[in-house]
Amino acid sequence: MRVMAAMAMVLNLDKCIGCSTCSVTCKQTWTNRDGTDYVWFNNVETKPGVGYPGGWEDQAQWRGGWELDGSGRLRLRSGNRLRRLVRIFANPEMPSIDDYYEPATYDYDALLSAPAGTQPVARPLSAHTGQPMEISGGPNWDDDLGGSQQYAAADPNFRELGSAVRLEFENTFMFHLPRLCEHCLNPACVAACPSGAMYKRESDGIVLVDENRCRGWRMCVSACPYKKVFLNRLSGKAEKCTFCFPRIEEGTPTVCSETCVGRIRYIGVMLYDLDAVEDAAKADRANLVEAQRAVFLDPFDPAVVAQAEADGVARDWIKSAQASPVWALAMKHKVALPLHPEFRTLPMVWYIPPLSPLLGATTAMGGNAEDPDDVFHTISSLRVPVDYLAQLFTAGDSAMVEQVLGKLAAIRTHMRAVTTGADEPSLPEGVSGSDLEELYQLLGVAKFSSRFVIPKGHREETAEVASWVSGCPLETPDGPLTRSERGRKLP
């Protein structure tokens, strides 16, 4: 066992209203620069829908993530290293700008230069070429099922479910899915980078690109199954979500999390066993979620704590791991699930599947959304939403999704009973009243300090500090700050 610590996030989809504030504040912070106009480190998409870039989940097309070969070995879906090197001159799986969208501006000059007495019109111009264009895409083009005949219909998750299911689905179900880099434990982008420019930070698991080592081979862009590594159009270098590491190191949440108006995001530390990562990534399809859960280590277990200290995890980080809302939601209460575990990258951004569409459906079916029996009936009778969510979060295991939704419904009914003094409803198997009250606290009323439990980075132990004595390490491009980070192979 080798204990490592990694930052993780949980998003409660039940509370996401799709306002895209996270996307906008992220863009203002990170990608409002030349060459990144089409780049959204964080985007919010409507499900069902194709998302951004269009059809990103379809790995038959992009060959992102990992797969098991004939003899059960783990390999990148884009083939072995030699295959990638042979395709280095032109990467067939690389998305083009049309798969994202072509950013547009408007011909504002026409408004000012039009002669008097005419009605001026500002027509859209391509931000890349300056030529007139029809705007036909955007980072949330199919927002709120707009154009769902075309976009929701093309959702790759329906492939397993069939078209009859799809039509039924569109009439009953819709939710928002905010997406960012997953900062995976087994990142495909890092493994695919020919230059070794991408790396995972040992201290907090954040996955970054070393812009000085990136040579623009663009294998990371296609290898990431979540399509969350981008190519800067002008600099020719890869860029990605940084998990706002300068903020995280200060103990502050990421910009997307802090500005979330629905307060749907939680950030915390997870301890995990580095030696168990590979086996978990090789787990059977039916067992992927539990396999990843098994990689996480119980921060309350004295043996884990002792090993963590021996492996150099700081004491305050272990304490943070014990208070981690991610541990509570993903491990203790098991209401959070990973996004597309079948990509086998062991993502670290998890989601609580949405219950509210099912409550709406309960009412639509003539039931009472406040009656637990009616809600449970809806959950188990409405196969479609549950099966769809299973495609997204459990690699097709509907029972696991049902369990989570049942628990979420039970929180409502239990708290109703507690506050009104009504009869205690029967609780789902293995769930206690105190569990539900704890979940209610965490999901409903948790304050900033409980939603974001982020220990400060221990930069005082690093070489930069020594250099601060004699001056600013950033003064020279070759300064200590640049030199102090070095590649390292772990045992």
Partner 1 sequence: MSWLSIALFGVWPYIALTMFVIGNIWRWRTDQFGWTTRTSELSEKKLLMWASPIFHFGMLAVLIGHLMGLVIPEGWMTSIGVSPEAYHIMAVSLGTVAGLVFTLGVVLLILRRFILKTRIRLVTRPGDIVMYILLGLIIIIGMTATLGYNVLGPGYDYRESIGVWLRSIFMANPAISVMAAAPWIYQLHAALALGLFAVWPFSRLVHMWSVPVGYLTRPPIVYRQAARV
Strands (DSSP E) contained in 263-419 are 265-273, 337-338, 349-352
| From candidates 152, 180, 214, 405, binder to partner 1 by CB under 8 A | 214
Residue 123 interacting with partner 1 (CB under 8 A): no
Q: Which of residues 160-189 bind partner 1 (CB under 8 A)?
A: 186-187
What is the C-alpha to C-alpha distance for residues 487 and 465, in angstroms, rounded to an integer?
20
Nearer of residues 22 and 221 to partner 1, judged by Cβ: 221
Residue 310 touching partner 1 (CB under 8 A): no
Residue 195 within binding range of partner 1, rule CB under 8 A: yes
Question: Closest CB to partner 1 among 121 and 234?
Answer: 234
Ranges within 224-283 binding partner 1 (CB under 8 A): 231, 233-237
Question: Does residue 287 belong to the site contacting partner 1 (CB under 8 A)?
Answer: no
Is residue 489 at the binding interface for partner 1, with CB under 8 A as the rule?
yes
* Cβ nearer to partner 1, comparing 13 with 191: 191
Find the part of the chain contacting partner 1 (CB under 8 A) among 22-30, 55-63, 353-361, 460-468: 460-468
Beta strands 349-352; 3-12: pairing state: parallel
| 470 part of the interface to partner 1, by CB under 8 A | no
Rounded to the nearest 5 degrees, what angle is found at the Cα of 109, between the Cα atoms of 130 and 127?
Answer: 25
Residue 91 within binding range of partner 1, rule CB under 8 A: yes
3-state class of 287 per DSSP?
A: helix
Smallest gap from Cβ 40 to partner 1, in A, equals 15
- 193 contributes a contact to partner 1 by CB under 8 A: yes
Neighbours of 400 (CB within 10 A): 20
Q: According to CB under 8 A, which one of 110, 114, 121, 466 is a site residue for partner 1?
A: 466
Q: How many residues bind partner 1 (CB under 8 A)?
A: 62
Taking CB under 8 A as the criterion, the residue among 114, 365, 463, 474 binding partner 1 is 463
CB of 131 to partner 1, least distance (A): 6
SS3 (DSSP) at 383: helix
Distance CA 432, CA 189 (A): 41
Compute the Cα dihedral for 158, 218, 244, 459 and give only its sign.
positive
Closest by CA position to 409, among listed 354, 332, 330, 333: 354
Beta strands at 124-126 and 104-106: parallel, antiparallel or unpaired: antiparallel
**Cβ–Cβ < 8 Å for 161, 391:** yes
Check residue 211 for interaction with partner 1 (CB under 8 A): yes
Please state, in angstroms and as integers, the Cα–Cα distance from residue 128 to each residue in 31, 105, 455, following that order: 16, 9, 42
Residue number with CB closer to partner 1 (240 or 265): 240
CB nearer to partner 1: pick between 233 and 319:
233
Binding mask 38-77 for partner 1 (x = CB under 8 A): ----------------------------------------
| Binding flag, residue 198, partner 1 (CB under 8 A) | yes
Q: Which of 97, 153, 323, 331 binds partner 1 (CB under 8 A)?
A: 97
In the complex, least distance from residue 125 CB atom to partner 1, rounded to whole angstroms: 12
Distance (Å, whole) CA 339 – CA 56: 13
CA angle at residue 289 from 267 to 300, to 5 degrees?
A: 55
Q: Which of 77, 176, 218, 333 binds partner 1 (CB under 8 A)?
A: 218
Give me the residue label for tokens 């928002």. Answer: 176
Question: 307 and 273 in contact (C-beta within 8 Å)?
Answer: no
What does the alpha-carbon distance between residue 324 and residue 450 come to, in Å, rounded to a whole number? 8
223 binds partner 1 per the rule CB under 8 A: no
The continuous run of DSSP H or E covering 68 comes out as strand 66-68
Q: How far apart are CA 231 and CA 216, in angstroms?
A: 8
Smallest gap from Cβ 245 to partner 1, in A, equals 11
Binding positions for partner 1, rule: CB under 8 A: 81-82, 84-85, 88-92, 94-97, 128-131, 186-187, 190-191, 193-196, 198-203, 211-218, 231, 233-237, 459, 461-466, 477-478, 483-490
